[in-house]
Structure 1
C-alpha cells in the first residue's frame, strides 16, 4: 500500500511540475484559457444555454484571439464542428503549446504528419523530371533509396547523388544507418551515390553537370553564411537551363508555433520567403514558381497558430507567405 501511495505521489508530483513549467514559459496561454472560461460561463448564465457552434467560434475569436473571424474562418471551424470533425475542446487546445505526445493523443493526427503528406504531394506533383539529381540532405533512415524516392518521386533518374552529414556529426538521430557509397535501385534504373559531408561543401562536383538540385527541408540546417555558399555552389554545378528546387519552414508561421527557438533541434535558421528568395536571386537564379505548402491563412491573419488548421491543410496555394513551409522552383539561365 505504501508503494502504491509513493508511486501516486511521484506521479502527481511530475504532473504538477509540468503544469508549473508550462505556466512559467507560456503564462499567456493560462491567462487566455482563464478569461475564455469566464466569458463562456457568462454566456451560459446570460442565455441559460450553451452557445451553438457559430456562437462558440465567435467566443473563441473574441476572447481567445482578440479579433473577429472572417466568413471563411467562421465557416472552416463551424462546418467542421457541425460535422463532428472537430470537438470544442480540440479547437481551444489547438491554439496552445503542446508536447507532441499529448498532441498525438488529443488529435487524430499531428500537424507534422499532415504537413508530411503535403510535402509528399509536392514531390510527386511539382518537382520536374531530371536525369541527374543532386539531393542535399536527402538520406532516409528507412531506405537506401533516399527520401526523394521514398516520397514517391514519379520519375527514374539515371543518377541520384545524396549529400548528407556523416553519422557522427548528426545531433538528431545519430544512430541512423550510413548506407554504402553506391547503391543501385532494385529495378536497376537509378544509380545512387552517397557523399557524407556538409551540404555547404560541393567542391567535388564539377560545374555545369547536374540537371536538378533538390533541397528538401535542409537549407535551414546550415548557418546563413553557409546557405549563401550552398546557393552559389548549386548555381555552379547546375547545367544552364537546369533547376534548383527547395522547400523550407516558413518563419512567419513557425515563430507562431514554437514562439521560442525553432521547430527542430538541428535548425540553425528559419527563413521568411522574401529573405530566401533574395539570396537565390542574388546568386543569379530565375524564379519560376513559388508555393505555400500547407497554407495557413487564418493562423497568419490572427498571429496565433492553429494546429487544427495545419492538420487540415494538405496541399498548396499561390500565396507563398501563407505556407507552414514554402517551396521555390528556380532555374539557371541558359546563357
Structure 2
C-alpha cells in the first residue's frame, strides 16, 4: 500500500509540474490536483471547503490528502480491484473448458510474443494438428508488431501454425483461406471490433467454412454490464459495438447459427440488479457462471442450423 501511495504521490507531483511548469503551489491547488489524478473529477464545493478548514487549522499535509482519497468509497468503488486481472482469470478458466478440435481458425488470434498464437497463450489445453490464425498485417496488429516472422508456417511437435493476413471483415478476400474448412472457428475478444454491418457476412463465411459438426466459439464484453462501468463510451475506443447476449444471439440466429452453450465470465449479479459500478465486487465474483446476462463478459458456442435459411422472394 505504501508503495502505491508513493507512486500516486509521484503522479500528482508530475501533474503539478505539468500544470505549473515547476513553480510551487499552495495546499488548496494540491488538493484540486489530487482529486483530478485520483478521482478523475473536479473537487466539489463541500470537499474544498472541508480541506480549507484543515488548512486554516494547520492540520493539512499531503499525506492526509492521499490517505483520505485512497480510502474513500468513491476511489475504492472505481479502483479498489484490478478488474482486468479478474477478466483475464475468467477467460483462462473458461478456455480450459472448451472441447478439443483437430483444426481451428482463430480470427484475430495473433500474439505479439508467442508463435502458437493467442488461443494457446490464453491457456487452451488442447493442441490441434492444424491451427490457422487470421490477423491484420504485422504492423497493424492490435497488441503490437509480433517479435517473430509470420510469413512461413511454424511446425510444433503437436501440429502446424499458419498465419494469414487480412481483416476479418474481408475474410472472403483472403484467397488462401477459401478452400480450407475447420472443426472450430474461434474469435476471442474480437467480435466487438467488427463493424456491425459487416458481421452478418463474416458469420455467413464462418458458417460455410465449418466442417460437419463444427462449432463457432467466441467471447465478448456484455454491454448490459459495460454500460454500467462506462455509460458514455465503450470500454475500448476500438470497439465498434458491444452487444448484450440477447442482441448477439439474434444476429447469430439471423445468420443461421444456433447458440448451444452460453457462459458468463465474471458474474456480477449485484451490479446487474443495482445499475451501480463497484470494483470491489470483482474479487468476490464467480469467474465462470451459467448466467451470461449478469456477467461482464459472455461466451457463445454455436453450431450451424440444419434448416435452410429463408431467402427473400424475388
TM-score range, shorter chain: 0.7 to 0.9
Does the CA contact (< 8 Å) of 2:87 and 2:266 recur in 1? yes
Q: 1:11 to 1:111 in 2, by over 3 A?
A: farther
Distance 1:247 1:11 in 2: 50
Please list every run of 5 or more consecutive structure 1 residues that lacks an aligned counterpart in the other structure.
Answer: 38-87, 97-102
Aligned to 2:245: 273
Distance 1:202 1:139 in 2: 15
Work out which of the residue numbers 168, 171, 181 in structure 1 matches 2:151: 181
Q: 1:311 to 1:212 in 2, by over 3 A?
A: same
Instruction: Work out whether 1:328 is the aligned partner of 2:297.
Output: no
Instruction: Work out whether 1:9 is the aligned partner of 2:35.
Output: no
Distance 2:203 2:283 in 1: 32
Distance 2:261 2:155 in 1: 30
Shift of 1:224: 0.4
Instruction: Work out whether 1:95 is the aligned partner of 2:77.
Output: yes
Listed as ranges, the matches of 1:23-42 within 5 Å are none
Does the CA contact (< 8 Å) of 2:262 and 2:292 recur in 1? yes
Distance 1:262 1:250 in 2: 11
Aligned to 1:198: 167
Distance 1:148 1:206 in 2: 22
Aligned to 1:75: none
Alignment size in residue pairs:
264
Aligned to 2:202: 230
Shift of 1:240: 2.4
TM-score normalised by L of structure 2:
0.73
TM-score normalised by L of structure 1:
0.69
Shift of 1:111: 0.5
Instruction: Work out whether 1:162 is the aligned partner of 2:133.
Output: yes
Instruction: Work out whether 1:19 is the aligned partner of 2:35.
Output: yes
Does the CA contact (< 8 Å) of 1:124 and 1:151 recur in 2? no
Distance 1:295 1:94 in 2: 19
Q: 1:227 to 1:22 in 2, by over 3 A?
A: farther
Please list every run of 5 or more consecutive structure 2 residues that lacks an aligned counterpart in the other structure.
Answer: 1-16, 51-69, 308-314
Cα deviation code 1:4-52 (max 9, x no counterpart): 99746379868735735988x867x969x97xx9xxxxxxxxxxxxxxx
SS of the residue 2:282 aligns to: helix
Distance 1:10 1:233 in 2: 61
Q: 1:174 to 1:147 in 2, by over 3 A?
A: closer
Distance 2:262 2:21 in 1: 57
Cα deviation code 1:63-88 (max 9, x no counterpart): xxxxxxxxxxxxxxxxxxxxxxxxx9
Cα deviation code 1:180-228 (max 9, x no counterpart): 2334354x21211111211122223236711101110000112101222
Q: 1:6 to 1:272 in 2, by over 3 A?
A: closer
Aligned to 1:264: 236
Q: 1:284 to 1:22 in 2, by over 3 A?
A: same
Shift of 1:142: 2.6
Distance 1:95 1:259 in 2: 15
Distance 1:292 1:8 in 2: 51
Cα deviation code 1:259-318 (max 9, x no counterpart): 221111221111111111001111111211111111110011110111121233252222
RMSD: 3.3
Does the CA contact (< 8 Å) of 1:240 and 1:334 recur in 2? no
